[in-house]
A = this chain, B = another copy of it.
Amino acid sequence: MIEEEVLKLIKPNEEDKKRLEEIAQQVLDRLKGLDAEVEGSYRKGTWLKGDTDLDIFVFYPKEVGKEYLKEKALNELLTRVRDLNYTIAYAEHPYIIVKIEGVEVDIVPALRLNSGEEAITAADRTPFHTRFITSKLDERGKDEVRLLKRFLKGIGVYGAEIKVKGFSGYVSELLIVYYGSFINVLKEASKWKHPVRVEIVKQKKEFSEPLQIPDPVDPKRNASSAVSLKSLVTFILASRYYLRKPSLDFFFPKDKKYDKIKGDVLILKLKFKNTVVEDILWGQVWRNVEKLRNVITNAGFRLIDINAWGNESEVYIGIQVESKNIGKYYLNIGPMYYQIEHVDKFIQFNENVWVGEDGRLYSIKERKESELEEIARKNLNFKHPFTLEVNWLTNVGDDPWINKFLLKTPPWLK
């Protein structure tokens, strides 16, 4: 059976577990005297083999407030790990990352509350998530979560970060809690039509997102608000086709070579001078992609597809159009003959005006811009400095992202 086969590959063994346990203990020792706890998928027992991060939260009384965490608490925590290889990362508020023997340990200051509903930042909610999930999942349940996570990874929709707009680990866990098993989640998901509501608890607010899972520890919050329609639909279709014909391809897709360039493909390569926080950069990337989608279409190009890939310092935007040669002129549709004022203005401000068979006036207009490269250059807008290379794709080569952009069809779909 496919699922058992997959589980063998993704379930950590005792050795894996012991390694993380020891590293966690090292850090906890350094945090002695503080209210520190291991959280995250390691704590919940739902992490995948090879995943090497640990989340250690340090709690402060509610009364100290949010600002205290950002400065005083952070500095206090820093004194404990200053001799290690550390960096400061920025989410809703800053936290510390230390690397120990290849394991990334996040040390996150948070407020100790009585209920998830009092949460001020996402971090404050985390211990309640940990408690809820561990109370609901037995050993088999944890494995079912692992299968679901690997499935979501394989089809490219795992992760709530802005770059992916997919399913978080917590959402994967909630789905298993509600539907009981990996296969049951897929059976239900294969029938979904958005907006989808999964009410483990009654929602305490109206949500607008395509997938709506009220957070059991704070039901006025949608735990799956990050999931885009595209990610949701990808999961629905993958569920449907997996149930019809299970295959390892869903969990471990292989890159396919594909070098046929259909239409004209422009590749923008953006190199950012400094590394930018991923969510901040990718928020801007997707806004730029949407902006380009609009201006390219409005300029008269027939856009086949536009997409982006890359990391925190290098971003590629692929733009595929039916033809780059749209001509310098376009048909301009004017008013009906009886709209007298509009007709007067149309004649005054246009060249090559004529009366169409439909009684409407028409003219020929010159495009403001007919070069796609120029349109792309002029409309990119980022808050961080970058250099730009713009190239028409001629030789595809081995870049797996470019191959994927050209092929489009995910390996599990066909």
Give chain A's interface residues, CB within 8 Å of chain B.
193-194, 210, 228-230, 232-234, 236-237, 240, 262-264, 300, 302-305, 321-323, 325-331, 337-338, 340, 343, 347, 351-359, 362-364, 406-410, 413-414
- Best-buried of A194, A233, A236, A406 by chain B (most CB within 10 Å): A233
- Best-buried of A323, A351, A362 by chain B (most CB within 10 Å): A323
A355's partner among B237, B303, B356 (CB-CB below 8 A) is B237
Known: A323-B326, A353-B414, A359-B194. A340 touches B408 (CB 8 A): no
Structural contact, A264 and B230, CB atoms closer than 8 A:
no
Q: Which residue of B lies closest to A356 (CB)?
A: B230
A263's partner among B322, B327, B363 (CB-CB below 8 A) is B327
Shortest CB-to-CB span from A35 to chain B, Å, is 43
Q: Which residue of B lies closest to A410 (CB)?
A: B354
Known: A353-B414, A354-B408, A358-B229. A329 touches B237 (CB 8 A): no
Structural contact, A228 and B364, CB atoms closer than 8 A:
no
The list of the 3 closest CB pairs from A to B, nearest first, reads A323-B327, A325-B325, A354-B408
Structural contact, B304 and A329, CB atoms closer than 8 A:
yes
Shortest CB-to-CB span from A29 to chain B, Å, is 48
Name the B residues within 8 Å of A364 (CB-CB). 262-263, 304, 408
Structural contact, A325 and B328, CB atoms closer than 8 A:
no
Complex CA distance for A359 and B230, rounded to whole angstroms: 6
List 15 A–B pairs whose Cβ atoms lie within 8 Å, in order of A's numbering.
Answer: A194-B359, A229-B357, A234-B355, A263-B364, A302-B327, A303-B331, A304-B330, A305-B354, A322-B330, A323-B326, A352-B407, A352-B408, A353-B413, A354-B408, A354-B410
Name the B residues within 8 Å of A359 (CB-CB). 194, 210, 229-230, 232-233
Q: Which residue of B lies closest to A340 (CB)?
A: B240
Given contacts A230-B359, A302-B331, A321-B327, 16 further A-B contacts (CB under 8 A): A193-B338, A229-B359, A233-B359, A237-B355, A262-B364, A263-B327, A263-B328, A300-B322, A302-B327, A303-B331, A304-B330, A322-B329, A323-B327, A352-B406, A352-B408, A364-B408
A228's partner among B236, B300, B305, B357 (CB-CB below 8 A) is B357
The oligomer's copy count stands at: 2
Q: Which residue of B lies closest to A192 (CB)?
A: B338
Complex CA distance for A323 and B228, rounded to whole angstroms: 37
Shortest CB-to-CB span from A162 to chain B, Å, is 14
Complex CA distance for A124 and B305, rounded to whole angstroms: 65
Name the B residues within 8 Å of A303 (CB-CB). 331
- Best-buried of A193, A326, A329 by chain B (most CB within 10 Å): A329
Name the B residues within 8 Å of A343 (CB-CB). 237
Structural contact, B304 and A347, CB atoms closer than 8 A:
no
Name the B residues within 8 Å of A240 (CB-CB). 340
Name the B residues within 8 Å of A406 (CB-CB). 352
Name the B residues within 8 Å of A323 (CB-CB). 323, 325-327
Name the B residues within 8 Å of A331 (CB-CB). 302-305, 322
Structural contact, B337 and A409, CB atoms closer than 8 A:
no
Shortest CB-to-CB span from A117 to chain B, Å, is 32
Structural contact, A351 and B409, CB atoms closer than 8 A:
yes
Name the B residues within 8 Å of A230 (CB-CB). 355-357, 359
Complex CA distance for A234 and B355, rounded to whole angstroms: 7
Complex CA distance for A104 and B325, rounded to whole angstroms: 53
Known: A262-B364, A325-B325, A326-B323. A355 touches B233 (CB 8 A): yes
Known: A325-B325, A326-B322, A337-B233. A353 touches B409 (CB 8 A): yes
Name the B residues within 8 Å of A358 (CB-CB). 229
A337's partner among B236, B264, B330, B355 (CB-CB below 8 A) is B236
Complex CA distance for A257 and B402, rounded to whole angstroms: 51
